[in-house]
Structure 1
């Protein structure tokens, strides 16, 4: 009988050049899923990404520290224990301009893809 659960003990560590740790537990890189991706991330102080307009909704839950979002011109800061859903096709910039590490979980529906994140040139 096929098991009706999957335990992920070896997430895919996404190679980065900006000091951010990305561990994908479920999604395109690990399980070839296209409907959802779940990742654990750690953003160092001073980290930021370019603006992007993803073709997926993104849910973020802050485990530790703070994370800043610029969403359609609004500046939103989430702290430990808070979460947010950002609708797909929304222009957003993620950053950690604070003096402490930010640890968080990110869930994307459909799954994160470099082909559908639509990052802008800086």
Structure 2
């Protein structure tokens, strides 16, 4: 098992690893819409938030020797499911023809009062 902390990704905000590589898979912890260079949390714009998170996931995978086309499962947590179509528009454009298994659920609250959090599992 290898604990990963890619350079081009936000740092963990608690006692956990951003990603773990184990048994041929990379498990990416839930990512908030944080711009790695500034630490800024994007709020109030689900499209921008979604894109920031997906780019961070892409960076984590690429720095770990994988890529977004190896993602097998995505879990999405949103505080307002009425924004689903806006989220889905960005998500669809980002992934193109790649269609990992996915769950999207509405939650009452997320760390740092974020609007969205996304976690992923990919082949390593």
- The verdict on a shared fold, with TM-score over 0.5 as the criterion, is no
Q: Greater strand percent: which structure? A: 1
TM bin, normalised by shorter chain, reads 0.3 to 0.5
Between Structure 1 and Structure 2, whose CA radius of gyration is higher?
1
Q: Greater helix percent: which structure? A: 2
- The alignment's TM-score, normalised by the length of structure 1, stands at 0.38
